[in-house]
């Protein structure tokens, strides 16, 4: 199927160096809030890229759950494919595709597990169904049918029917500690605006990149 004729012209706005905050975190927070105010669907959805031990890139969508000066936090099963990849190579990149605003943000950096206390705090804020689901899903493993999940869910509901659902040992968060950000704003004729923040000895260096 030839789909080469699918194209859009980006005309909403541009991005100048003078528009940017000196702090990439502050710039991200500004764009994130603007995306939320625009009521974009799943504004905190980010494509997470990792690499397998044999060098094969892998990407999937996860949800950002918090961000501050320490980094960007998401949660997963610690036995999942992504967790095993991060254990072998604790580096990752994420992409926020805010395409309705003709914007993208890329963030790359090192990755570490957050503390059990931090994971517990978020886990207890989740809906009970999500808490139970974290107990039964051996994420990324092969299962015979959905019936397996339904059966396990009934069993775990019965097990924890009388109290709080505890934090599973194999579930928790990761924090991406950024070493590089890129802010992309679509422009006409594919002459997009791209600015990269890179860590340097004096703080963050900002460079304009060719589109």
What residues act catalytically? 190
Cα–Cα separations (whole angstroms), residue 35 to 29, 73, 75, 94: 10, 19, 22, 17
Give the pair of three-digit tokens for residue 118. 């931090």
Nearest to 72 by CA among 188, 193, 180, 161: 180
Start-to-end CA span in the chain (Å): 27
């Amino acid at each position: 199927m030839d789909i080469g004729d699918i194209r859009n012209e980006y005309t909403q706005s541009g991005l100048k160096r003078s528009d940017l905050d000196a702090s990439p975190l502050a710039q991200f927070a500004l764009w994130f809030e603007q995306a939320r105010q625009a009521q974009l669907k799943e504004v905190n959805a980010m494509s997470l890229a990792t690499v397998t031990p044999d060098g094969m890139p892998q990407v999937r969508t996860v949800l950002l759950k918090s961000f501050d000066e320490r980094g960007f936090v998401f949660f997963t099963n610690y036995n999942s494919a992504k967790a095993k990849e991060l254990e072998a190579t604790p580096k990752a990149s994420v992409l926020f595709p805010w395409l309705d605003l003709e914007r993208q943000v890329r963030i790359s950096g090192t990755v570490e597990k957050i503390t059990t206390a931090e994971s517990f705090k978020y886990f207890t804020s989740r809906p009970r169904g999500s808490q139970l689901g974290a107990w039964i899903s051996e994420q990324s493993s092969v299962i015979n049918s959905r019936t397996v999940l339904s059966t396990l869910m009934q069993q775990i509901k019965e097990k924890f029917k009388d109290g709080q659902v505890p934090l599973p040992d194999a579930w928790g968060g990761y924090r991406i500690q950024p070493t590089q950000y890129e802010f992309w704003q679509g422009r006409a004729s594919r002459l997009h605006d791209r600015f990269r923040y890179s860590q340097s000895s004096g703080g963050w260096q900002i460079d304009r990149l060719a589109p």
